[in-house]
Structure 1
């Protein structure tokens, strides 16, 4: 048996020099709405190639504007825009509920892959309990919850609504979310501002029988407290379930922007606490969510709904220092005749609260950007002149990934390898300019080389949690 000989001439390969580099992180998201064919798909019945071409165009624009997250509505009303054995294909996709895309593909799988090619986080957005937006037109078929359990779904206004007080409905929604999280490589799971439905004038939500059964079983909460507890329960369960299934997946909720009238002083508007039975203040206090995206859809100088006043209030309700990403409504460009400068100022105000964990913005929705209303694209280019990674959620734990391996220059190309490709979400390349490291490019996970001009660079690995390794330094 041979054993290695000790020798002064055998030396390990040199460790490449590394340097700590970073840049200003910011969450830059945009919502893609599927219900009513607002964004994607833009109309019912498009074939696979037309759908994919449409989505690529939207994601190309998001990348070109240096956004870094797209939040797509994949479950608008108890139906799906992804392959599911538990709920039917959405009618917003092909025009008839239950009809898959033709030729067949899985739109959510495609969305995720195309996002990651462009260094965009892919967040799946669901509505918790809506079963139909128009009960006269929407025909729900098995395995839709409404078709299987019609007594657990109520008419309310023009809509059909699963009863959030029923354990059957709660468990169903929970299982739907966990199924998405477990089967798809999403970066986030996102819930919008619909909990109990927005109030319909002159109508009470018809859950009296459910509440009476709760009381007969010994329940003592008032109707309002019971409804809020139903919503609190699903939010808590989803947060716990997602973290247990895939700790890196972010759980976010985007509630209505006003908590209650008078909170803070001078603020007036819908009381979500007593009408939607949502208590996002408690969700922040309990740490049930990973981020909150309050929809601040009002102007800065609109005194009773003031953007900076409301934002400051939200930052003061955040004892665990969770991330806050403000929701901004681009549709106001037309229906309220806002000036584009309003958005520039709102983003700047959001940034001014960064030390209070206001760490980005999400824009509703992509159509004004796509159609370039009021030259809004130019405003975005001024707001986001450089790419950026999303902020790291330190409270989600994890370790920075290994540095890139075997980094070398061959000719005018920089080449590298991954120590563990499964932990790579993307790569960042910095360049040393006048003594300062500046982020030059973000590459998708499968990239292993890039042309470079002469200069000094640092290449970093980035993992699913957006944690960055040190940079391997190389001079060309």
Structure 2
């Protein structure tokens, strides 16, 4: 016991010496080995089709539409979320200024009519979201040409059904473009590329509509395209090849334009029945011709968000069983963000506790790259439906979080915050001059653990500690949420073991 006490005294003396070397005018140089909070992507889908989430009406003025965006983002910031998946193309239309496709009817009431007074909704969303340290992923539906109608009446002259009339089909209650037609695929790639080039989006997102969900007794009318292709593949394999080809092209095209822009897909949550054993339901592989397991395995996406729109307990569509199965397909170590059906608290009368528990289950798998959740959809949180927003804030998102970074994407590492000083209770530093910094993360040491207390937009270069004592750390954050080395700051009474140990 005497030997142990002597050893402990020597360690404390060594820490005191190290600390005296580290502290300079209350600023402490960075050191390795610290443990930082777990990253988590916390996002909502913002659906514009049928005015589900935004704008709430196609007859709102430009000012009212902008006000709704600001209100939405303020609420999401208050809830400590860090992402929106914003639907910018519902069915061959555009909720942004496009030379390739017409303005959406959901924006102005008439397809092809621009907002008046003019503004660009995607650009406005990006600017306002980034100020609040919220990522914007532009969400596209690739093949649907018109939702809830098979009529071409009211479609703008530059709509894709008129550009490619031989490949536009009425199927079920919608109009669809033929995924097997190269001119259609080329057009879709051009639309995606245009947005990547012109807008400061953080991600590009595709939903679960590939070949349409099957209609009873009605086959998708692409027989002539299949025969004209001369393919030796079966019809089903040919259809899957068409979708695979688009996914590969989009991934490589996005990377060639802006290698830091993320590419994600939210497929139907069941790849094939029986995967894992006991799971039953529609087969996305056989019915939608979406081999999403392959896209994940091959690393054709940066993140996958399977739509796990089922409860936890029923075995035939078990949320945890499906989540774990998807994680086990991730041989390229990409990210998985579970897709959750918050709308079911209204449409299916689920208890809000079901959604809370699903997020908690997702967190249990963080060590195998379950790194967040995307909720469908925004309005249930903005409107605090059934107290859902309050419960998320109290039980899940009580403090901010940075989105997980993607080491395989190309972005410059941010430099450490420059010229950090203290002035009373305020920590200050100089503005970024490199153009790399998107935001600043501020940490406080609490019970020997670094806690993220604030994420500041790049233009904010001070933080009021509100007279809290202890240790703080400031880090620069780039657009991929990669952080710089920290700069540590001591405030008030110094505890040697905390800062160096």
User: By the TM > 0.5 criterion, same fold?
Assistant: yes
SS in 2 for 1:295: coil
Residue 170 of structure 2 corresponds to residue 158 of structure 1 = no
Deviation per residue, 1:27-48 (Å, 9 max, x gap): 1110000000001111112111
Question: What is the 5 A alignment of 1:80-91?
Answer: 80-91=94-105
Residue matched to 1:4? none
Distance 1:303 1:138, change over 3 A: farther
Following superposition, the deviation at residue 257 of structure 1 comes to 0.3
Cα drift, residue 137 of structure 1: 7.0
* 1:443 maps to 2:456: yes
* Residue of structure 2 aligned with 1:271, choices 283, 289, 313: 283
> Is residue 321 from structure 1 mapped to residue 333 from structure 2 by the alignment?
yes
Task: Return the alpha-carbon distance in structure 2 between the equivalents of residues 91 and 24 of structure 1.
Answer: 41
**Does the alignment pair 1:30 with 2:44?**
yes
Cross-structure match for 1:117: 131
- The answer to whether the 8 A contact 1:315-1:324 is kept is yes
| Alignment match, 2:217 | 202
1:8 aligned residue: none
Q: Whole-Å Cα distance in 2 between the matches of residues 142 and 415 of structure 1?
A: 55
8 Å contact from structure 2 (residues 443, 474) kept in 1: yes
SS in 1 for 2:435: helix
Q: Distance in 1 between matches of 2:153 and 2:84?
A: 28
Match of 1:51 among 50, 61, 65: 65
Q: Secondary structure at the match of 1:395?
A: coil
Is the CA contact 1:429–1:439 (under 8 Å) kept in the aligned structure 2?
Answer: yes
Match of 2:82 among 51, 68, 72: 68
Q: Report the alpha carbon displacement of residue 245 of structure 1 after superposing the two structures with TM.
A: 0.9
Gaps of 5+ in 1: 1-12
Aligned to 2:14: none
What is the distance in 1 between the residues matched to 2:98 and 2:127?
Answer: 18
Counterpart of 1:297 in 2: which secondary structure? Answer: coil
How far did residue 138 of structure 1 move? 5.4
Please state whether the residue corresponding to 1:96 is helix, strand or coil.
Answer: coil
Instruction: Give 1:261 shift.
Output: 1.1
What is the CA–CA distance in structure 2 between the aligned matches of 1:181 and 1:385, rounded to whole Å? Answer: 33
Once residues 165 and 139 of structure 1 are traced to their aligned partners in structure 2, the CA distance between those partners, rounded to angstroms, is: 26
Residue in 2 that maps onto 1:458: 473
**Is 1:99 the counterpart of 2:119 in the alignment?**
no
The answer as to whether partners of 1:429 and 1:440 remain within 8 angstroms in 2 is: yes
The Cα shift of 1:106 comes to 0.5
State the partner residue of 1:182: 197
Cα distance in 2, alignment partners of residues 185 and 88 from structure 1: 21
Whether the 8 Å CA contact 1:19–1:458 is kept in 2: the answer is: no
Instruction: Give 3-state SS (helix, strand or coil) of 2:420's partner.
Output: strand
CA distance in 2 between counterparts of 1:446 and 1:194 reads: 39
> Which residue matches 1:310?
322
Residue 79 in structure 1 maps to residue 69 in structure 2: no
Match of 1:431 in 2: 444
Which residue is 2:244 aligned to? 232
Please point out which of 298, 303, 306 is paired with 1:286.
298
**Which residue of the partner structure matches residue 5 of structure 1?**
none
Aligned match for 1:420, one of 433, 446, 454? 433
Q: Which position in structure 1 is the counterpart of 2:6?
A: none
Q: Does 1:332 align with 2:337?
A: no
* Alpha carbons 1:132, 1:138 under 8 Å: kept: no
Tell me the distance in 2 between the aligned counterparts of 1:435 and 1:322.
31
CA displacement at 1:282 relative to structure 2: 0.7
Change (3 A) 1:144 1:376: same
Deviations 1:438-464 (A, max 9, x none): 211000121122323343321110001
Q: Give the stretch that moved more between structures: 415-424 or 296-305.
A: 415-424
CA distance in structure 2 between the partners assigned to 1:419 and 1:60 by the alignment: 25
Cα distance in 2 between the residues matched to 1:266 and 1:87: 44
Q: What is residue 401 of structure 1 aligned with on the other side?
A: 414
What stretches of structure 1 move > 6 A for 4+ residues in a row?
A: 13-16
After TM superposition, the structure 1 = structure 2 runs for residues 348-427 of structure 1, keeping only pairs within 5 Å, are: 348-381=360-393, 382-427=395-440
Residue ranges of structure 2 left out of the alignment (5+ in a row) = 1-23, 492-501
Q: Are 2:227 and 1:212 aligned? A: yes
Given the two structures, how large is their TM-score scaled by the length of structure 2?
0.89
**1:344 match:** 356
Preserved contact between residue 80 and residue 400 of structure 2 (Cα < 8 Å): yes
> Equivalents in 2 of 1:450, 1:59: separation in Å?
22
Q: What's the secondary structure of 1:405's corresponding residue?
A: coil
Give the 3-state SS of the residue equivalent to 2:96 in structure 1. coil
Report the TM-score, using the length of structure 1 for normalisation: 0.94
Q: Hey, what's the Cα distance between the residues in 2 that align with 1:376 and 1:434? A: 30
Deviations 1:213-232 (A, max 9, x none): 012xxx20000000000000
TM-aligned CA deviation for residue 108 of structure 1: 0.3
Q: CA deviation at 1:437?
A: 2.1
State the 1:19 CA deviation: 4.0
Q: Name the CA distance, whole Å, in 1 between partners of 2:409 and 2:466.
A: 38
